[in-house]
Amino acid sequence: MASAIMNRASSSSTMRSISLYAALRIRNYAKVANGSDIVSVAPNVSLQKARTWDEGVSSKFSTTPIKDIFKDKKVVIFGLPGAYTGVCSSKHVPTYKDNIDKFKAKGIDSVVCVAINDPYTLNAWAEKLQAKDAIEFYGDFDGSFHKSLELVTDLSGALLGTRSERWSAYVVDGKIKALNIEEAPSDVKVSGADTILGQI
């Protein structure tokens, strides 16, 4: 796969960096699949909802258990390599933000974005994208959630270290009904809003 990606790269430095970003990672296969109970796979994991530092202090740095995000709810969740990165900002998040009314019309209780970032960075990024009112952003600050699901990838070649795969899922009361994982972190081919809308 890496050689195919490298062969498609153009001579421009931008395309070379994107290809290198994709080629340097090792593709892992997720522990979860359609039918998996996401709460059982990550039973003791909590995430941190995007917030300012002052909000973190006032809440005594509270966290949200995974079960509270999914129990008795229809949730669309998508993971991405990181806040402020190019594809995540320009292509991935906007597909969900621009389609939030369609998700609500299908009975989705919440659309969640999760990344291996601290909640303060995610908060600033969500505000910059003007997406915080539509999407719930959560920080998986130490990668526990993604590691439990085996949805991590090594992006050290792009100076990002351990990061989330680019993925999406439709989850009903904790059970995964549809799961989409990109082959390369620079792709938004199967993890965008259009794909998951067709799976609900």
Q: How many domains does the chain have?
A: 1
For residues 77 and 75, give the distance between their C-alpha atoms in angstroms, rounded to a whole number: 6
Position 98 scores a pLDDT of 95
Domain-embedded: residue 43: yes
Q: What gap in Å lies between CA 80 and CA 103, rounded to an integer?
A: 19
Given the residues 47, 69, 88, 179, the one annotated as active site: 88
Q: Is residue 3 part of a domain?
A: no
For position 186, what pLDDT does the model report? 73
The reply to whether 88 belongs to the active site is: yes
Do the domain assignments include residue 140? yes
Q: Taking the model in full, what pTM does it have?
A: 0.78
- Whether residue 107 is contained in a domain is answered as yes
Tens of pLDDT along the chain (200 residues) come to: 443 333 333 333 333 434 434 444 444 456 666 778 888 888 889 999 999 888 878 888 888 999 999 999 999 999 988 888 877 887 889 999 999 999 999 999 999 999 999 999 999 999 999 998 999 999 998 888 988 888 877 565 555 546 678 899 999 999 999 999 988 777 788 889 999 999 99
CB 7 within 8 A of CB 20: no
Let me know if residue 15 belongs to a domain. no
Distance CA 108, CA 28 (A): 29
Q: How do strand 136-139 and strand 64-65 relate by DSSP bridges?
A: unpaired
| Cα 109 from Cα 111, distance rounded (Å) | 7
pLDDT given at position 161: 46
Which residues span the domain enclosing 47?
36-198
Confirm whether 188 is domain-assigned: yes
- Give the pLDDT score at 128: 93
Q: The domain spanning residue 184 has which CATH number?
A: 3.40.30.10
